[in-house]
Chains A and B, each alone.
Chain A
């Protein structure tokens, strides 16, 4: 199963290595990882999307992460109501005669065009990972030259429904 885990850490040198190394050592499969500063100085937050085989493995993952000295908090937010976002930059072959067609096709995704040249255009798309997947599939036939994704970051919503069904995209 796919889980979204946030890890709040003291911003010490080596802490990223320790956390990712731990996931590797214990054979957890990371799909994506993002890291950045938080509102507190010296505290960073990592957001992982990981695949775990079962509940026992998940419990191990959380416990092993929590055990690290520089780890302050570990949360599995998969089943919370959350905002999940990822950003992708996609450079696509876009000759002048196709450019209008392309722009209208991708319009529902509300991408931004962040760079253009004679034969290429670079779209920036922000959204849930499945939205980005869909965007990529849509644009792929035109010829993707370069694709980069940031990985997922997440925020737990202020208001939580009483019972939150598991987010379908994470099943």
Chain B
């Protein structure tokens, strides 16, 4: 086990506080106690984690002063669960892992949270300060490793800094452009005795972060410029991204769009920022977005980007993106403005504040009736499509059925690949904070643990995860949690026996050379589920599909559904990587 740690500390003048459990009144509090208390102070109601040598003191403190702790079966499961939790509640997710391998197992999740702006506070154990840098047992330089993939990170050097650091971390994670903050916690610090008197003296201290003052309110003049541009436009278009969701601005977005009859399209991560079937919603844009949404971008004379970052999966070739449009870009992160697409009217602000400012002004909006009827016609003519197959179930049909059985109300998480794109296309969301997907990093193995976190966050909601047969196998060990914690998560494996998205690219761009993308040998997912005490179902035919999905999705129990679908189905439409949105292929006219 980890190196023995001295628990002696110079500071002896500690005071007792009323927060202590009565039987331990006389025991001075150590760093671990302070950490757990700091989590209580932040109203943390659940943490996802996995213990180990460097965090034994922390887990001991947790035992004394409990916060609900979910023991996942892999640290990656813990962090994706925390991401799922954070997404659906718009609240900071909390993760604990030990030093070394525990910490490095979190890295994928931290990078995922960074690129998708998910608020997390991640605690990693660390070897004792006096052996840091000596390649001690289970030492990893997690500060160095995570610096480029965290919004901020700390290594605690003094036990008395813990309250301040935790407070700062939660503030940083869940304000401005949200993101993961890591706190590296050396073992001897967790054992050091806390100076209660000093803490009492510093208790009322305000947060002091002179280098961090996110701009929340929009600039008045910029709003006036935006209003002028909107008023003078003929073919305006709102592109709503995840920023709208993080700002909880769905209501304002919808009101604004309705007030001026402005069409809205979404990014993959912005889905749910307006009702999926709202008459002004023209769907998702980008690589596998709706033909109408991409066409709208190319024809718009004004593009109002609210809380999206013009990612390359959305824009295609940036030089040919929205060629006719004046660009308004509302973003809380000034560094996003002008990064990928030159912006005419930048507005650095929280999406909700910006929309409120726009709504406060009554101005003469543009007449969009012609533009809307063009878009409506285009939408009618070029919907998402598939060609039914007599013998096989199409993956799209599974998503459609799940959508109709759950009335579009379920919390949906996805893994990464073809099924993710079909879920985005066919599961029309009724609400915000109902859609959890790994957009920026495209992390296979994300969907299932994210669903677990989402179910903890919303115990009364139906939570469904669409997974590919490959991605599910990356984190399926978390099946153990469904039974243990009585989580009625519905796992829908869209099983095409392939790394579908890779296979599709090989079909389209590598002359069908399926190099390492077919997976002929698979576990029996039904038996696998049963081994974990979870009911498993297999779907082979359309008839089975309807009846089994109805039974399984309406049950109160966790279920795993192995839906066998056509292997060679492709996701369309598609804008090939690096091409212009105009070069979209796989659009069918109806």
Residue B387 lies at the interface, judged by CB distance under 8 Å to chain A: no
Which residues of chain B in 323-341 are interfacial with respect to chain A, using CB atoms and an 8 Å cutoff?
A: 333-335, 338-339
Nearest chain A residue, comparing its CB with the CB of B334: A63
CB of B144 closer than 8 Å to a CB of A: yes
CA distance A109 to B236 in the complex (A): 63
B130 smallest CB distance to A (angstroms): 16
Contact of B210 among A18, A68, A72 (CB under 8 A): A72
Alpha-carbon separation in the docked complex, A60 to B147 (Å): 19
Contact in complex: A56, B155 (CB < 8 Å): no
Interface residue B88 (Cβ < 8 Å from any Cβ of A): no
| Residues of chain A within 8 A of B334, CB atoms compared | 63, 66-67
Which residues of chain A are near B210, meaning CB under 8 Å?
10, 72
1/0 per position for A16-31, CB-CB distance to B under 8 A? 0110011001000000
Assess the A56–B147 pair: CB atoms within 8 A.
Answer: no
B520 at interface (Cβ–Cβ under 8 A)?
no
Interface centre among A21, A25, A67, A70 (most CB of B within 10 A): A67
CB distance from A11 to the nearest CB of B (A): 12
Chain B contacts of A68 at CB under 8 A?
152, 211
Q: How far does the alpha carbon of A18 sit from the alpha carbon of B157 in the complex, in Å?
A: 18
Q: 10 nearest interchain CB pairs?
A: A63-B335, A69-B152, A72-B211, A69-B212, A25-B148, A71-B211, A18-B147, A67-B335, A64-B335, A21-B147
A contact residues around B148 at 8 Å (CB): 21-22, 25
Question: Does A14 reach chain B (CB closer than 8 Å)?
Answer: yes
Q: Which residues of B are interface residues toward A (Cβ below 8 A)? A: 143-144, 147-148, 151-153, 155, 157, 172, 209-212, 333-335, 338-339, 342
Interface string of A49-76 (1 = CB under 8 A from B): 0000000100110011011111110000
Question: Roughly how many angstroms separate A10 CA and B208 CA in the complex, as a whole number?
Answer: 11
* A60, B211: Cβ atoms closer than 8 Å: no
- From 131 to 153 in chain A, residues with beta carbon under 8 angstroms from any chain B beta carbon are none
Q: Is the CB of A56 within 8 A of B338?
A: yes
A residues in contact with B342, CB < 8 Å: 56
In angstroms, Cα B212 to Cα A10, docked, is: 11
By the criterion CB–CB under 8 Å, are A69 and B209 in contact?
yes
Q: How far is the CA of A40 from the CA of B342 in the complex (A)?
A: 38
Contact B152 A60 (CB under 8 A): no
Interface of A is mostly: helix
Given contacts A66-B335, A69-B172, 7 further A-B contacts (CB under 8 A): A9-B211, A13-B155, A14-B147, A17-B147, A21-B148, A60-B335, A64-B335
Q: Which residues of B contact A17 (CB under 8 A)?
A: 143-144, 147
Question: Please, could you name 13 A-B residue pairs with CB atoms under 8 Å apart, sorted by A?
Answer: A10-B211, A56-B342, A59-B338, A60-B335, A60-B339, A63-B334, A63-B335, A66-B335, A67-B333, A69-B172, A70-B211, A72-B210, A72-B211
**CB of B215 to closest CB in A, whole Å:** 11
- Closest-CB distance, A133 to chain B (whole angstroms): 33
Once the chains are docked, how many angstroms separate the CA of A69 from the CA of B182? 13
Contact (Cβ within 8 A) B155 A14: yes
Point out the residues of chain A lying under 8 angstroms from B338, CB to CB.
56, 59-60
Which chain A positions have C-beta within 8 A of B147?
Answer: 14, 17-18, 21
Distance in angstroms between the alpha carbons of A4 and B147 in the assembled complex: 24
Q: Which residues of B contact A72 (CB under 8 A)?
A: 210-211
B143: A residues at CB distance < 8 A:
14, 17
Given contacts A60-B335, A60-B339, contact A69 B157 (CB under 8 A): no
Report Cα–Cα, A64/B153, bound state, in Å: 16
Bound Cα distance A22, B148 (Å): 7
Write out the residue numbers on chain B whose beta carbons fall within 8 Å of the beta carbon of A18: 147
Look across to chain A and name the residue whose beta carbon is closest to the beta carbon of B342.
A56
A159 to chain B, nearest CB (A): 28
Task: Kindly list chain B residues whose C-beta atoms are within 8 Å of the C-beta of A67.
Answer: 333-335
Can you list, as one digit per residue, whether each of A68-93 has a CB less than 8 Å from chain B (1) or not (0)? 11111000000000000000000000
